[in-house]
Amino acid sequence: MKKQTRKKILQYGVSIVLAILILVGFFWPMPQYIESPGSADNLKSFVKIKDHPDKHAGKFMITSVKLAQAHPVTYLMAKVSPYSSIESAQSVTGGQSNDTYVKMQDFYMQSAINEAKAVAVKAAHKKVTKNYLGIYVMDVQKNSQFKRHLKVGDTITKVDGHHFENAFGFQKYIAKKSVGDQLRVQYQHNGKLKTTTAPLIKLSSGKTGIGIILTDNVKIKTKPNVKVNPGQIGGPSGGLMFSLQIYGQLTNKNIRHGQNIAGTGTINPDGTVGEIGGIDKKVVAAKKAGATIFFAPYLKPTKAVLQLEPGHVTNYQLAKKTAKKVAPHMKVVPVSTFNQAVHYLNTHH
């Protein structure tokens, strides 16, 4: 009887140890993140334009990277997975809280959508107007004298009573001042207009400034009205593909010719396409979704870049290398501008 009791106690103890190991292995958070191939989603369900439905065969797809906090088991799996990478929390979030990081990614996405609308609507010869709201605060440096007032997500609308039509205007005005000069800042916080005053600091560049990371906050109006719902996808890398989807619907041109086209890249106001991160993982996602064409940003590296980084690899080069391994029949197309992408579609059926 005692022997059976000891056996049951031993079994019970082993079960507890196994349960603890499983809990630790799958749920213990580590200070790293795992980046892996995400999805390639049909943009037809994202973009709605009244009287301009998408009736043509094929699809434009926005590609994404899956990002998740590492746990011991997923960490080990990522070590042996060829298209998963382990990233530090600092490199992913910049040391910001998860809520702040998500908020920034949402704004990046909205900014990408706005620029995509403007580029596509202009190319389709429809009406588009831009209303410059001001400087969007992306981060506040620790040594900034405004850190107790300005928060991520705020929009600076005026400095010393002056409103400018781009971030350069604000920066140029502030750069003329001296370190320690008082600056009166008017800003929007959660829909409320506020004002604060604090001294300027010396930035790492040597210039005088507020001490924030910023971008332009622009409101776009189009006619007809273009509605875009990105769902849970964040970041700026969908700009190019959004612009192609919007352009196709507005013009009703069959630019896809029945093909499944994926891609990535930011879109700038002048229609140029910018590079992004994780393009190898996006190629894998595109392949799984059945894409036959993949648009990859191509930015020719300058001599300065090559000197600092002799082994520099462009987005296009990495995408092509990845496709050769995982999707040899998928055509990877380098694009530097929106017009280049449209030209390719019009000339390659």
Q: Which residues are catalytic?
A: 237, 282
Instruction: Please report how many Cα atoms fall inside a 13 Å half-sphere around the Cα of residue 111, on the Cβ side.
Output: 26
CB neighbour class for 192 (10 Å; exposed up to 12, middle 13-18, buried from 19): exposed
Instruction: Please report how many Cα atoms fall inside a 13 Å half-sphere around the Cα of residue 149, on the Cβ side.
Output: 19
Determine the 3-state secondary structure of 298 from DSSP: coil
Contact call for residues 10 and 17 (beta carbons, < 8 A):
no
What tokens appear for 200 in the block? 């300027």
Q: Which residue has the tokens 């000339």?
A: 347
Distance CA 37, CA 274 (A): 20
Name 37's bridge partners.
Answer: 65
Taking residue 118's Cβ as centre, other Cβ atoms within 10 Å add up to: 23
Amino acid at 63: T
What tokens appear for 70 in the block? 């590492």
Angle between the 338-347 and 239-251 helix axes, to the nearest 10 degrees? Answer: 50
Distance CA 238, CA 285 (A): 14
Distance CA 259, CA 341 (A): 14
Of residues 210, 235, 216, the one with CA closest to residue 150: 210
Determine the 3-state secondary structure of 315 from DSSP: helix
